[in-house]
Amino acid sequence: MATLAKPNLPRFDVDIFQNEFLADGAREVNAIVTVTATGGGTTGGRPLGIADAGTQGAGNAAAVVLLVDCSGSMDYPKSKINGAREATAAAIDTLRDGTAFAVVAGTHEARDIYPGDGTLAIASAGTREQAKEALRRLTAAGGTAMGTWLAKADKLFLTRRDIAIRHAILLTDGNNEHESAQDLARNIERVTGHFTADCRGVGTDWRIDELRKISSALLGTVDIVAEPAGLADDFRSMMAGAMGKQVADVALRIWTPANASVKFVKQVAPSVEDLTARRAEAGPRAGDYPTGSWGDESRDYHVCVEVPAASIGNEMLAARVSLVLPPQAAGGTPEVLSQGLVKAVWTDDLASSTRISPQVAHYTGQAELASSIQEGLEAHRAGDVDTATAKLGAAVRIAHATGNEGTYKLLQKVVDVVDAKEGTVRFRKNVSEADSMTLETRSTKTVRVKK
């Protein structure tokens, strides 16, 4: 483990958990990389606001755009549009003084209702009240084109290129019916890397896959708020999280030696997110995987490296894992914040080579848990009850074995558990759509390895 820090940045620590011993001829090396960020130099863990920029630089300042679905369906029932107004007002109240922000009403087009001039306002007691007044005039009418909302957010963020931490919160209650899937995909691709985004679906008439595509590409979260009354607390929580970020655009850089290659990279805690396809080349035999913005928090990543086979007694450095600030965030040259080493040692000791790292085993199970839930619910929708039962039975077994109590409780709302240890289940009758969607939406949430 190595640690580096500088003023105004959190301290980053990297810990590597693995069984470095391989059997004769084995080529696959697995490791769990735990990254922990703490503190924030002279800010004391508090992100810098615009007001701080004169003395400490604007690189840590935050900008937030709230994207609120105002399509016609938000009026049925009226509690949805009312809940959206209250939730957005709660988020605005959570803004730190000096934060740049805007509110966008999303329909088949995107209209910035505050400040309304194509720019970002600066949070203060006065601008927060003005923004909440603008919310009171929101009405529900029109269609849904979320790609257009993302493009509008991007345009607003571009008016403050000096701000590094850029975050959007997107709320919808329906399907993306007024633009093609191709248009949505193009807009997502166009804004990827420009800002992060948390997505929320209110009610049960929205599509999980659409919001997951957005949140996954933009390194945020996705969740369901089944009842509009729960929106305000959720929005406060999301905004508090955004206000806690201290550094943006951190990359997980993985270097491998000659003839070795990265097989996959996955975030596995606090949720499962496959980053493999997001690799950007970063010099000879090195690639960067985006991790987004960081505050005081810890995340785990599963790194799998394929190395050349070697004979008994040989050892090698399989990978060097670093946390890196890109040039645009580090003042012109990439900056290594912390790093750790993944090793490989070939042995003929069967006990050593067959021992599985507890961390690797745990998170392999958590990834299987997520896929079992998603595949099981998809099979159930398709009428394949046998496959659905087998998959959700496997999910119950894994959730029980790994101590994922949150997911286990959600599973119990969909299936009756006959034997948790064996994964024997029966589908419940009259499962609500909200319970089914909550289980699927939260299927990627994981629990950390027990110490």
Residue-level pLDDT, tens digit, the chain, 451 residues = 544 444 467 899 999 999 999 999 999 999 999 999 998 643 333 333 333 433 333 445 899 999 999 999 999 999 999 999 999 999 999 999 999 999 999 999 999 999 999 999 999 999 999 999 999 999 999 999 999 999 999 999 999 999 999 999 999 999 999 999 999 999 999 999 999 999 999 999 999 999 999 999 999 999 999 999 999 999 999 999 999 999 999 999 999 999 999 999 999 999 999 999 999 999 999 999 999 999 999 999 999 999 999 999 999 999 999 999 877 666 677 799 999 999 999 999 999 999 999 999 999 999 999 999 999 999 999 999 999 999 999 999 999 999 999 999 999 999 999 999 999 999 999 999 999 999 999 999 999 987 6
Is 56 in contact with 41 (CB distance < 8 Å)?
no
Task: Check if the beta carbon of residue 344 is closer than 8 Å to that of residue 23.
Answer: no
> What tokens appear for 312 in the block?
């008994």
**What pLDDT sits at residue 294?**
95
pTM of the model: 0.93
In this structure, are strands 297-306 and 261-269 parallel, antiparallel, or unpaired? antiparallel
* pLDDT value, residue 59: 44
Crossing angle of helices 358-381 and 433-441, in 10° steps, is 150
pLDDT value for 190: 98
Segment holding 403, helix H or strand E: none
Q: Are 343 and 38 in contact (CB under 8 A)?
A: no
Beta-bridge mates of residue 172: 201
pLDDT of residue 326: 76
pLDDT recorded at residue 268: 98
334 cis-preceded (ω within 30 degrees of 0):
no
Instruction: Answer whether the bond into residue 257 is a cis peptide, omega within 30°.
Output: no
Provide the 8-state DSSP code for 303: E
Contact of 264 with 313, CB cutoff 8 Å: no
Task: State the DSSP code for 443.
Answer: T
R_g of the chain computed on alpha carbons: 23
